Amino acid sequence: MPFNPDRYKDMPYRRCGRSGLMLPPIALGLWHNFGGKADHDTCRAMLRTAFDLGVTHFDLANNYGPPPGAAEERFGRILQEDFSAHRDELIISTKAGYYMWPGPYGDWGSRKYLIASIDQSLKRMGLDYVDIFYSHRPDPNTPMEETLGALEQIVRQGKALYAGISSYNGAQYVKAAETVARHDWAPITIHQPVYNMLNRWVEHDLLDYTEAYGAGVAVFSPLAQGILTSKYLDPSRTVPEQSRAADPDSFLNADALTPELLDKVRRLAKIAERRGQTMAQMALSWVLRDPRVTTAIIGARTPAQIEDCVGCVKNVKFDGDELREIDEILAS
């Protein structure tokens, strides 16, 4: 089945910092819904739907599953089935930094671990290179020069085109940016932090720095693992089936869905309705309102959820009254 020939027509791609890389404002993350128990046909349909809508960026990590590695294996299979003629139209990213195998070399940020991990990831996906390779988290016990030197080696060897880091705080990011500049290593082209209406730390501790050093920002969990959607708006059905809160493999605990939190989301949803958006669309538009944010990485269970999320790109602007009302709700 051919892809939509007009897939690039309505997607307003954004420049990633000061690099030449352009990314769609919505990217698809293959975290929990592409693992070993996922339905393969649904996974194929989600990737095809995303690409048909102009979503060219697919984000993975070595430990995505479950079990770890399963998402990369499934993605590699779908690449062969549907995307073999379109590799040069895709931005594929993966990461290493969390536990993958036993012993002292299967976790964190050593050169040994990162080099072994990229080789394993490429094998699982059947690729010669990825477009972006991330240090998934800072390692408190490994010198940053070693971690960043491994990224430099990976880029220099052609196993990745761009280097990135994820979940580094502002001071750690500045140290990383200055370290690679001092050594003339591959620059930190992109940073991947958590950012959403309920977790706004990047506004005071990261975005000024990424702008100053010229890095793009790909935010993960922009919907707060589905909290900032319509899933939990019905007071009579707090934890619906097929939601992350109902999934035993999810990191979202149903206990986190307090009455106070859900009341805020319901009040936010009324603003979304006035804007002609779903709650998910408004939450995505809100993180994308800042031009320093390059892309928001969504998770999805169905093609329809992807279609809904991509609809946010039609309106990512907010007037002052809307922003003040949102701030008041979040602060309440």
Q: Are strands 130-135 and 91-96 parallel, antiparallel or unpaired?
A: parallel
Does residue 216 lie in a domain region? yes
Cα 181 from Cα 3, distance rounded (Å)? 41
Contact 138, 146 (CB under 8 A): no
Instruction: Tell me the average pLDDT across 211-238.
Output: 91
Average pLDDT over all residues of the chain: 95
Does residue 275 lie in a domain region? no
pLDDT computed for residue 225 by the predictor: 93
Residue 64 has pLDDT above 70, yes or no: yes
* 227, HSE (Cβ side, Cα atoms, 13 Å): 24
Q: Are strands 22-23 and 14-15 parallel, antiparallel or unpaired?
A: antiparallel
Residue 251 has pLDDT above 80, yes or no: no
Tens of pLDDT, residues 98-127: 999 999 999 999 999 999 999 999 999 999
Residue 249 has pLDDT above 60, yes or no: no
Q: Which structure tokens are listed for 11? A: 């997607």
Residue 159's beta-bridge partner residues? none
Residue 153 belongs to domain spanning: 14-225+285-314
pLDDT computed for residue 253 by the predictor: 60
Domain with residue 123: its CATH number is 3.20.20.100
Residue 240 has pLDDT above 80, yes or no: no
Instruction: Tell me the average pLDDT across 61-86.
Output: 98
DSSP 255: G
Sign of CA dihedral 92, 13, 330, 208: positive
Number of domain units in the chain: 1
Instruction: Tell me the average pLDDT across 180-202.
Output: 98
Instruction: Tell me the average pLDDT across 23-29.
Output: 98
Reported as a pLDDT band with limits 50, 70 and 90, residue 73 is: very high
Cα 180 from Cα 165, distance rounded (Å)? 12
Does residue 273 lie in a domain region? no
Does residue 330 lie in a domain region? no
pLDDT computed for residue 241 by the predictor: 60
DSSP 53: T
Instruction: Tell me the average pLDDT across 181-198.
Output: 98
Instruction: Tell me the average pLDDT across 8-13.
Output: 97
Does residue 235 lie in a domain region? no
pTM of the entire predicted model? 0.94
Residue 204 has pLDDT above 90, yes or no: yes
249 vs 215, more confident: 215
Cα 220 from Cα 290, distance rounded (Å)? 15
Tens of pLDDT, residues 140-179: 999 999 999 999 999 999 999 999 999 999 999 999 999 9
Place of tokens 């998770």: 299
Contacts of 244 (CB under 8 A, 6+ apart): 32, 225, 226, 250, 251, 252
Residue 52 has pLDDT above 70, yes or no: yes
Does residue 319 lie in a domain region? no
Listed residue (265, 279, 282, 276) closest to 323, CA to CA: 282
Contact 228, 198 (CB under 8 A): yes
Q: Which structure tokens are listed for 87? A: 């590799």
Does residue 1 lie in a domain region? no
Radius of gyration of the chain (CA): 19
Does residue 276 lie in a domain region? no
pLDDT computed for residue 234 by the predictor: 78
Dihedral in degrees, nearest 10, Cα atoms 157, 160, 163, 166: -130
pLDDT computed for residue 1 by the predictor: 83
